[in-house]
Amino acid sequence: MKLFEVFVLEGHDQSTIFSPEVLAETGAQVMTPAEAKFVGLEGIPDDPEGRQRLLVACQPADERLIASRLEAHEAVASFKLHVLG
């Protein structure tokens, strides 16, 4: 599984980053860090700068599609990719 750590620009609507179609096509799960910890994703460190973050879990086959959406969206300041498992 791949996990994108997405840093969202302040004042932007993070709910518009992915369309319902992209989420349905990929099965990606978009969570806040608190939601990720609640569902059992351990080892997610707090951001020392306190930035707004989202976590996006997806299958390896969908990595490029998710990354392209993140790169193109105005609300995304930056993102990091982590490999789980």
DSSP the chain: -EEEEEEEPTTS-GGGSS-HHHHHHH--EEE-HHHHHHTT----PPPTT---EEEEEE-GGGHHHHHHHHHH-TTEEEEEEEE--
- Which of 11-15, 20-24, 58-62 is least confident? 11-15
Contact 5, 52 (CB under 8 A): no
Rg (CA), the chain: 12
pLDDT tens string 42-82: 777 788 788 889 999 999 999 999 999 999 999 999 999 99
Domains and CATH numbers, the chain: 2-83 (3.30.70.260)
